Structure 1
Amino acid sequence: MWYVYFLLLANGDIYVGSTNDLKRRFKSHQSGQVVSTKSYLPCELKSYVAVETEGHARELEKNFKSGSGKAIALKRLLRLSDLSG
């Protein structure tokens, strides 16, 4: 199983990533081991999507990082009101 996940960073931005071990990856974000998020801690796991293959996960991650994909994620997966706390 692969996961596409969404983190709410301390600066209010959303980080999108993918992994086959969500618990391990989230711990690595929280401990400052991920270069792209370590300056924006603490972070919070807001949502994730589980898919069967790495290829599908990477495709979704890329899509969710695009402008229209991010808008869909915010509207459908993350619910804007949930991001304020």
Structure 2
Amino acid sequence: MQETDFREVADEFIHLANDLSEEWAMPFLSAAFMYAAAWYNTHFFFESDGASDNQLAAVDYYCDQYRKMLMECMHDFSTTAKS
């Protein structure tokens, strides 16, 4: 997967969130998007592996990835906001 494709798909979700923010509050949307990501990643896990022995490792993986992405976005946002 190329970085530009990844960002393009992520931007589609951000645009959807921005559109939905005209009707829904940001905290509500944030929680709904996290829930949707959890649901989608659960579906992906069970389609690709699904072994009960691997569920905790999968949760750890997704949590670690989210933490890394969140920290990267916060760094990028704070750097951009200061400019």
TM-score (norm 2): 0.29
Q: Which of the two has greater strand per residue?
A: 1
Structure scoring higher RCO (CA < 8 A, sep ≥ 6) equals 1
Higher gyration radius (CA) = 2
Higher relative helix content = 2
Structure 1 length normalisation: TM-score?
0.28
